[in-house]
Structure 1
Amino acid sequence: MLKPLLYIRPKPWQIAISILGVCWGLATAFTSPKLLKEEEQSDFQMTESTPLWTVMGKLGKIKTNQPKDWAKAKDQLTIRQGKELIEQGFTTKEGSSTELLSKKMSCASCHLSVREEPSLDNLDPQKRLKYVDSNQLSFLPGPSFYGMINRIFFFNNDFAKLYDGPYAHLLKGAHFDLRKSMDACNQLFADGREMEDWEKEAILAYLWTLELKMGELEMKKADWEKVEYSIKNNRSNARAVNLIRRYYSEVYPAHLVRPPDERARQMISPASNSFLNGRKIYERSCLHCHEEKRYSRFKLDNRQKTFKRLAANFEGKAKYSIYAAHRYQSGKNWRGIPIFTKERMSDDQLADLRFFIDNMAKMGDEALNYYKN
């Protein structure tokens, strides 16, 4: 025979807790997702060390250049592999060295992995030269990997026009796709092989460690406060995104220009050219690749004999002309050493380089004292 259930009368405090629990459950169930999002937004604090994409994401902008697997991209082994692929062209995988991306050069031959501009919204090559010289950095043809994942376009139409034959497929989509742009750069400029998917993902993982930080944008206080307001209140987000965009370059312009003509090349003088500027370019750019044949079979040094050899090739289409080395001059589907766009080295800077070489060829080390000031 079943025993009757005993009824135990709850105490007042137990009834109160039950009622509160039900109310809390109903409040949570019927809370608007928008209100929850706003509450989450209001707890977010933007600081100078906050990554740029974190802030853009809070404002509703979809991140570009994202890894396929975020968990793997944050793994230190993957990041290390990406760093090594950039700096030395190979890494280790499962205990063995991987195949070289290129037998001629690595990504670091042409790209820095640190900041190279004094101001992130000003890409003037002369200001960049002064900045890299003062920080003991190189002056290179390729833009820095620092902040690369915060950019939205890569190879532009000038490159598409240059490679319109058997290599055109490499640039198809590279304008919008960082992975395709890695492959195109490695095959066209480094004359390397096609990159494997895991290699591109490893490099991408490393690039995410080089993301821009909000403090580096050097925003005006009023604009900073407007961005903070938008994040906290989830209002005027588009305006906030556009305010941030004013302080860094999402797109790096790149124009492939012909070398100056014969007459323009000869119009150099102390009145219009800077010996010291030319020296900085030679030391920070030319020697970066050519000193002790670091990335090139053509060796350069500071001997007068070397400068005489360079000066003898100023005119025409000589193979070792500084104009052939720095400007596109070899016809379509040209492969090999990277070329400087006019945004990476101006014609004035190229003239300064010639002025420096010309004087070093004529005077040797005496030119260093003569143009000391």
Structure 2
Amino acid sequence: MYRLLLFIAVFSLAGLMALMPAPAARHIVPEMAVAQLLAELGDTLVVQADTALAGVSAEAGRQIVHTGFASGPDGNRISKQSKHFVCTACHNMEREDPDLTVADPQARLEYARDNGLPFLQGTTLYGAVDRTRFYNGDYEKKYGSLVEAARNDLREAIQLCATECSQGRALAPWEMESVVAYLQSIGLKVKDLELSVQDLEILETARREGKGLEKARQLVRSRFLQGSPATFVAPPEDRKAGYPVDTTSVENGRLVYELSCLHCHENEKYSFFRLDHAQLTFQHLAKHFPKYTQYSTYQVGRYGTSPVPGYKPYMPNYTLEKMSHQQMEDLRAYIEFRAEGQGR
């Protein structure tokens, strides 16, 4: 009798539950990680760290990225990844573009000014875990066949940066996965995509019903660049005349100098070539700007410098997407302005 009553009760409860509406799907919220949203939409390109590996943690990855050091699986501190650079020498860790769908150096400079960021040669690592292409465009001219493995593989791109860009050692497996875990923690958020109400409805429907998933994935990925374009350019043909621009802005040049040049050269932070606000410094830079010397801003800005035996630190070049011809001429105008004893 007891079993019969229990069966009737369970059957009745099941019947009532069947008549009840299904619980509403969890809504997409502004702080949701884009990687999580893409994964829920069936995206197979989402990168996940292998956290089952001993020693792996986002905190260890953060330490490696910011300082080059971390505590290993045995609790002891590892040897520094590079004696010369850390990731923050060339990369921001925050969003650096007002519009994630375009590479606009002037918009990025103004965004850096407004948000207290440096203006750097490398693309921000914020959202790097969500991108699908690396070492794009003309980077093949610099690294040759080394970019082939890195073009569509985040881990290979990180390793190439570790050994070539930072002139350091390769990352151990647990270090690599820790860096990936850290990059996951600074991935894009839904709020970064600036989706419309209609966009959100499309995505919510796709998640809930499992239909139109490909269209939904394309919608999400269309809201940010999948890779940073890179165009290598030469100094102006006539260095005395400079790049052909209609006018120059001393104030814009000041931003480039203070947010870019001083980031590495002030107090010899990442370079033995020291820069400051002394008039003699500006006179030296102005003198060499139009020349074919290692102190020419045209020369090192567009070509960079190369590691030499016994001295591995070098200066990366600025692609056209990272510093426009206009910005280069604005920088020259500011340097010449200060060389004449004007300004602060």
TM-score greater than 0.5 by the shorter chain: yes
The equivalent residue for 1:209 is: 185
Gaps of 5+ in 2: none
The equivalent residue for 1:17 is: 6
Provide the C-alpha distance between the structure 2 equivalents of 1:89 and 1:133, rounded to a whole number of angstroms: 27
Provide the C-alpha distance between the structure 2 equivalents of 1:183 and 1:308, rounded to a whole number of angstroms: 40
112-121 vs 297-306, which moves further: 112-121
Provide the C-alpha distance between the structure 2 equivalents of 1:110 and 1:186, rounded to a whole number of angstroms: 12
Q: How much does 1:172 deviate?
A: 3.2
Q: How much does 1:86 deviate?
A: 0.9
In angstroms, what is the RMSD of aligned CA positions? Answer: 2.9
Computing the radius of gyration over CA atoms, which structure comes out larger, 1 or 2? 1
Q: How much does 1:307 deviate?
A: 0.7
The equivalent residue for 1:321 is: 296
Compared CA separation, residues 188 and 323, structure 1 to 2 (3 A): farther
After superposition, give the CA deviation of every residue in 1:43-86 in whole Å (9 maximum; x if it has no partner): 232111111111111211124332123x569x8x7222111111
The equivalent residue for 1:51 is: 33
Counterpart contact for 1:53–1:63, Cα < 8 Å = no
Q: How much does 1:163 deviate?
A: 2.5
Counterpart contact for 2:136–2:227, Cα < 8 Å = no
The yes-or-no answer on 1:120 pairing with 2:109 is no
The equivalent residue for 1:179 is: 155
Compared CA separation, residues 109 and 267, structure 1 to 2 (3 A): closer
TM-score normalised by L of structure 1: 0.82
Q: Secondary structure at the match of 1:96?
A: coil
Counterpart contact for 2:42–2:213, Cα < 8 Å = yes
Gaps of 5+ in 1: 1-9, 26-30, 32-38, 369-373
Match of 1:285 among 260, 270, 291: 260
Provide the C-alpha distance between the structure 2 equivalents of 1:330 and 1:103, rounded to a whole number of angstroms: 18
One-letter amino acid matched to 1:46: I
Counterpart contact for 1:92–1:98, Cα < 8 Å = yes
Provide the C-alpha distance between the structure 1 equivalents of 2:240 and 2:31, rounded to a whole number of angstroms: 47
248-257 vs 350-359, which moves further: 248-257
Counterpart contact for 2:306–2:314, Cα < 8 Å = no
Counterpart contact for 1:112–1:143, Cα < 8 Å = yes
Match of 1:346 among 283, 299, 324: 324
Match of 1:68 among 50, 54, 62: 50
Compared CA separation, residues 286 and 332, structure 1 to 2 (3 A): closer
The yes-or-no answer on 1:234 pairing with 2:234 is no
Provide the C-alpha distance between the structure 1 equivalents of 2:336 and 2:278, rounded to a whole number of angstroms: 13
Q: How much does 1:258 deviate?
A: 1.8
One-letter amino acid matched to 1:353: L
Counterpart contact for 2:53–2:174, Cα < 8 Å = no
Number of aligned positions between the proteins: 336
After superposition, give the CA deviation of every residue in 1:135-172 in whole Å (9 maximum; x if it has no partner): 111001111111110100101242223233xxx4x433
One-letter amino acid matched to 1:18: F
Provide the C-alpha distance between the structure 2 equivalents of 1:184 and 1:127, rounded to a whole number of angstroms: 29
